[in-house]
Amino acid sequence: MRRKLSEISSFESILCMFVVMIHILSDSINKYPQGSVLSAISFIFSRTITFAVPAFIISSGIKFAHGYADGSFRYFSFLKRRITKVYIPYLIMALLYYLYFVFHRHYFDFNFGIMMRHLSLGTIAAPFYFIIVIMQLYLIAPLTYHFCRNISPLVGIFLAAGVTIASKYLLLGFQYSDRIFLGYFVYWIIGCYIGINFDMNIDKLKRSKSVWVVCGLVFTFLYSAIAYFEFLGWFEWFGTEIIKIIFASFASIMWLLIMPKYSHEVSDILSPATFYIYLIHCLVIFETERYLEIWKISSIPLRFLILCASAYVISISVSVIYSRIKMIFNRNNDIYGI
């Protein structure tokens, strides 16, 4: 029997908090004068945690490969579960966001065609591109399943990195390039290789933990600094994309390696709710920002504190309550054979 991956529960809980923080910091980055110390702090801190979405893809790859390490992979059964657990909740929330912007915020008029485009492309809210990307990776799961089982990790990761870098270059200027799975392929493959024999691979990585931590910190600093200089308009360089891939890979593994192997009460509560927190938090931020404008609160530090309080407290509370109710309902269905 495969053990519960407590490390992944803790890992995804931390990543979810990072994603929420990235979107909270957008307010500070936009309002502080560009080039000021506080603008720099806000921007650089935001960039140090942008590995969160690539790390979610690595985590998804780990869970996929670990779950089917015994060779029991059945494509259509797998895809049905992913559509039910990931894509349908996304569609419901994306529709809710669209209706919120149309009827509550009056940003634009209702248009069925535009709504369908937002739903299919994940463009109604910033974090939704992840859903579009991960669903594409689920669609090609049989290919990656056999890829990782028949090609050595070093060669496989090198090939996947080449595909990712090439796609980034070839899709430069394409409006929806961030929604094409090829730009994230290396993260999925890294996760799959780790997940195929999770305990053995984690033990191997932990033997050189200090190296991964040093590399993670070095590339975090390097990428954040370069990204900030680009933000200031000093230069624009494709090499930043390559450094970002290296940074996201090393930072993800660094954080994974420091996660506890044992089950933790907080992560046990948060882990089932992380996907719902991911879906709902931007809606909470949008509505909080509306009230900040109504209340005429212009102090950026105060806005930051209020956004933190509302985004974390409301998003986590609603998501945890929903996930708990869902777990109880599913348990009752199992008991009564529904």
262 pLDDT tier (thresholds 50, 70, 90): low
Which sign, positive or negative, has the C-alpha torsion 279, 283, 289, 295?
negative
Q: Does residue 249 have a pLDDT over 70?
A: yes
What three-state secondary structure class fits 178? helix
Rounded distance, CA 289 to CA 282, Å?
10
Looking at residue 152, the DSSP 8-state letter turns out to be -
Q: Does residue 283 have a pLDDT over 70?
A: yes
**Residue-range domain boundaries for the chain:** 6-336
Q: Which of 190, 132, 130 is nearest to 158 (CA)?
A: 190
Query: Average model confidence (pLDDT) for the chain?
Result: 92
pLDDT tens sequence across 182-231: 999 999 999 999 999 898 999 999 999 999 999 999 999 999 999 999 99
Rounded distance, CA 193 to CA 154, Å?
10
Three-point CA angle 100, 25, 46, nearest 5°: 125
* pLDDT at residue number 9: 87
* pLDDT at residue number 297: 96
Distance of CA 47 to the CA centre of its chain: 14
**Helix locations, 32-152, DSSP H:** 37-48, 52-67, 75-82, 88-99, 112-121, 129-139, 141-150
* pLDDT at residue number 1: 46
Rounded distance, CA 9 to CA 59, Å?
10
Three-point CA angle 305, 39, 276, nearest 5°: 45
Q: Which residues contact 214 (CB under 8 A, 6 or more apart)?
A: none
**Which amino acid does the sequence have at 333?**
N
pLDDT tens sequence across 148-160: 999 999 999 999 9
Supply 200's token pair.
Answer: 């053995």
Q: Which of 192, 186, 142, 187 is nearest to 166 (CA)?
A: 186
In 3-state terms the chain splits into helix, strand, coil percentages (rounded to 5) of 80, 0, 20
Q: Does residue 334 have a pLDDT over 90?
A: no
Q: Does residue 24 have a pLDDT over 60?
A: yes
Q: Does residue 337 have a pLDDT over 70?
A: no
Q: Does residue 57 have a pLDDT over 60?
A: yes
* pLDDT at residue number 330: 74
User: φ and ψ at 111, to 5 degrees?
Assistant: -145, 115
pLDDT tens sequence across 133-147: 999 999 999 899 889
Distance of CA 253 to the CA centre of its chain: 14
Q: Which of 140, 222, 226, 233 is nearest to 189 (CA)?
A: 140
CB atoms within 10 A of CB 254: 22
What percent of the chain stands above pLDDT 90?
Answer: 83
The answer to whether the beta carbons of residues 65 and 194 sit under 8 Å apart is yes
What's the pTM value of the predicted model, to 2 decimals? Answer: 0.94
